[in-house]
Amino acid sequence: MDRRVVITGVGMVTPLGLTTEHSWAGVLEGRNGIGPITKFDATGYGGQIAGEVKGFDATQFVARKDVKKMDLHVQYAIAASDDALQMAALDGHYAPERIGTIIGSGIGGLNIIQKFHEVQLRRGPGRVSPFFIPALIVNMATGWVSIRHQLKGPNSSTCTACSTGNHAIGDAFRVIARGEADAMVCGGTEGVVCSLAIDGFSAMRALSSRNQEPERASRPFDAERDGFVLAEGAGLLVLEAEDLARARGATILAEIIGYGTSADAFHISAPSEDGDGAIRVMRGALEDAGLEPQRIDYVNAHGTSTPMGDLSEVRALKAVFGAHAYRLAVSSTKSMMGHLLGAAGGVESAISVLALRDQVLPATINYENPDPECDLDFVPNQARRCEFEHVLSNSFGFGGTNAALVFKRYAG
């Protein structure tokens, strides 16, 4: 596994914008993408706010006759893949059999499950669409993207809750490093801002109750954090073998050099208080990258805005980095857009890559009341220009599944 792997394309659909350009501009501005739910009447629900994708029109990307064949998470993935592949400018440079796809979702087609369950209850058997099953299953984002762009290489899908995007990117990184493909489209997608998801997460007491102040509800590491805000969208990367990307004159955004995975083996939804799984996944990613902890400059944190989750991650950062933890920049871009579940790692990896490219540290907005135990440099409220070389991006998921990636500024 000695092939170097670089990133040449980034695609995002987020609550901050329908393209990479608009989403990244929103991150740099520290814009809030969270507001009252408009997709259904949320009156009476525990959670009434979300990071919704606004103004999305699937027919700009997909033929009208095909829209009904796919759940929203698939539509978001297609839009993000168009964005990423246009940036990478791959056309004609590789045989289709040498380009693969690994795109995952934490939940998949919950929207369409809810829709057709209501149809069945109301109209009886025989009224469910023949496209129901193909529309909802988790690997259909990968399937549709590969069909659309004729990508005939390795094709699979991850489903590891909120670690999904990072696992997909890390697995694709290893596919190229092993020589099984020359390029991969990879990341995560999610589209579950629906009443069933809101009710389910509310029942777990996982969501912020700050319904009257949506712009201030997602506040990672702040002392008044009270839960995450559900969000939707997609984040994809185009990875390539470095020598081939360089030979074709590609614009290289950054390099991916490390990938770690671990399991908490502790609880179905809560992290251990000492951050054991997070500690091991970060150390694994650093070992894979061949880096000492002090070489990391910035951590794009999982940082969901939950009381225990954020504290556990900070404790893990201090265990891994020691005194260097206080010299790190650490931020959570979930403060601006909420928690995209299976798409979170994809979007946050895209942000990490663009941060390296542009040499700017994204902010943690809504950081107003420091938590005495969360006492690191969280890049509060405003993006910061800075020269830096290495980024660690964390994703932790229900079931105790963890993934961390290390990105490096590309220097040729």
Catalytic residue among 162, 186, 194, 374: 162
Cα(137)–Cα(125) distance, integer angstroms: 21
Alpha helices in 322-409 (DSSP H): 334-337, 344-358
257 Cβ contact list (under 8 Å, min separation 6): 4, 5, 288, 289, 290, 291, 406, 407, 408
Cα(392)–Cα(44) distance, integer angstroms: 40
Catalytic residue among 93, 167, 302, 390: 302
156 Cβ contact list (under 8 Å, min separation 6): 101, 102, 139, 142, 171
Cα(155)–Cα(244) distance, integer angstroms: 21
CA neighbor of 336 nearest in space, from 396, 381, 270: 381
Catalytic residue among 73, 93, 339, 390: 339
Q: Among this protein's residues, is 162 annotated catalytic? A: yes
Q: Among this protein's residues, is 159 annotated catalytic? A: no
Which tokens is 260 given?
């770690």
Cα(69)–Cα(205) distance, integer angstroms: 33
Cα(312)–Cα(301) distance, integer angstroms: 11
Q: C-alpha distances in angstroms, 172 versus 91, 147, 167?
A: 19, 18, 8
Which residues are designated catalytic? 162, 302, 339
